[in-house]
Chain A
């Protein structure tokens, strides 16, 4: 029976699909995005249907290239190969990449300076739109969102979360094996924590963020990592960004650094104890934007610009970025707040106030310092 019912349905579907295939030439807009699966989901489930509706005959195809800097690295390698091969039309139209990737790609002329050619240019104000880890990326990038690392803690165990890294160091001695983080090889929340530690303890915080790069600072960095080695004796190492949240949820640790957006998403999905809260210690933990970029020889550059215009519009930033995916907006929050209901807006700032975020939300250190710190970590802390 079922088979007979199914057949006419299939035939109808095939017929319904036919006219489109013939009447309009399909253009495919290829969007490559680094980052976790939620980035691909965002493009495919949220942005693509809206863009396709506005632009009949256009199909958006999103591919994920993997989490962390590795994902941006893959996009870089592909564009670089097409550049070296002398290809005239590159097959990525829009890419979403990390700061380190953006710095490299701008340096190697792989990107198009498109910012002045889109109408959302003026909505973006944060300095990350011009400066990526010390590299000048002005004109080439627009932030899709900002994400922030913060301490997640279980208030049943931690009555008053440490307000600074110094307090944290004291706290772990009194509460051994209650703080967990994922080292430098298991994801960026661990890397960010290490960066925050060095910023707080090496006494060169400003220099790490603003430059100029001075290889002579290695000694100060390694000294601060020495104290981190001691700190590590009192903490638990977790398997990855998700691993920290898992252990918090199972009550195996009481505190650890996590990505704020992951934190909210997990809580919304019921994967994390709803009592767990966030706090941002002084002098701060790093956060980062993801950038929309358009490759220098993108095959569909005009469409790509329209795509970024949609993605950066206050409506999409409010509804998609903030409300559905729990990221901080990529454009100036003042344009977003008016498009959002108060509850959604407040949810994002319940534990961490906008002023704390402004004060303690820091950029990652310059690329060179970043490398010095993670390699120093391997040399001093792990060996």
Chain B
């Protein structure tokens, strides 16, 4: 009897999730598989590694560049997010905290393409940033240089993604038991010691999830590198768009997609490991 009941429940469960599963299979897994297949299909329909070889031949620099830029940006995001979130949790001045809380979320509501467009005039050689620096006497006009290269891409990506990670992180920090913080303070710990030894270890998981999600998002951003520096080296997304738009070459584009998928899979593996580790004790 009980066994029957369990199977029935299982079946109902399956029936309930099947539409969602169907959508995932049809619109996510199937196109992805097709992309993988097309990356290895030759003109005559047979298996070929020609497209992959061409992708690696022409774009290996851009692949490495993509990895370097996204890793660097992730590190930058981590540092900025920790600084902002910890000030929001542990900071002294109430007024500064309110102002910061109000300000830091803005980029969340600004699309990537707008970020790229804004940065394009902000970071140019004779752009707003250098005008301010020169006007303020901080640099002389001769040494002003354009930041519209890899630096511009990193600045734009960090600027755009910091609020997202900060949002998660500040929430997690706020839920850290305040007794831990107070106890450490009572025992004479400085504020940064409280942060490094007490708070950060407890929110490590949330920080990791936020960073992995940012990493994967940044891998897929086309507009920012397109607006700031579409020339070599550039992010792999620009190359994918270029193969399709200029050459109508879906095969090499698919090979590049597959490579970028492998990069994202690294992030996904980290995420899953953490998510599963969290889910198992709860179950």
Contact = CB atoms under 8 A, between A and B. Distances in A.
Contacts of B247: 371, 374
B126 A185 contact: no
Contacts of B194: none
Nearest to A253: B125
B6 to A, nearest CB: 49
B58 A183 contact: no
Given A247-B124, A374-B246, A379 B58 contact: yes
A167 interface: no
A373 B14 CA distance: 55
Contact of A186 (B121, B124, B231, B248): B231
A326 B116 CA distance: 29
A252 B126 contact: yes
Interface in B2-33: none
Interface in A334-383: 371, 374-375, 378-379, 381-383
B227 interface: yes
Contacts of B242: 185
A250 B124 contact: yes
A367 to B, nearest CB: 11
A69 B231 contact: no
Contacts of A186: 230-231
B150 to A, nearest CB: 12
- A interface bracket (residues with beta carbon within 8 Å of B): 20 to 34
A266 to B, nearest CB: 15
B70 interface: no
Interface residues of B, number: 28
Interface string B234-267: 1000110010111110000000000000000000
A379 B233 CA distance: 12
B229 interface: yes
A183 B231 contact: yes
Contacts of B89: none
A251 B126 contact: yes
Interface in A248-289: 250-252
B193 interface: no
A237 B220 CA distance: 23
A183 B239 CA distance: 13
B58 A252 contact: no
Interface string A223-251: 00000000000001101100100110011
A99 interface: no
Given A239-B229, A251-B126, A252-B126, A383 B61 contact: yes
Contacts of B231: 182-183, 185-186, 237, 239
Interface string B198-239: 000000000000000000000000000011111111100011
Contacts of B227: 239
Nearest to A183: B231
Given A239-B229, A371-B247, A378 B126 contact: no
Interface in A151-208: 182-186
A70 interface: yes
B168 to A, nearest CB: 32
B148 interface: yes
Contacts of A378: 58, 232
Given A185-B234, A237-B231, A247-B124, A382 B61 contact: yes
A183 B230 contact: yes
A185 B238 contact: yes
Interface string B163-205: 0000000000000000000000000000000000000000000
20 contacts: A68-B246, A70-B246, A73-B248, A182-B230, A182-B231, A185-B231, A185-B232, A185-B234, A237-B231, A239-B120, A239-B148, A243-B120, A246-B124, A247-B125, A252-B124, A252-B125, A374-B246, A378-B232, A382-B58, A383-B58
Interface of A: 66, 68-70, 73, 76, 182-186, 236-237, 239-240, 243, 246-247, 250-252, 371, 374-375, 378-379, 381-383
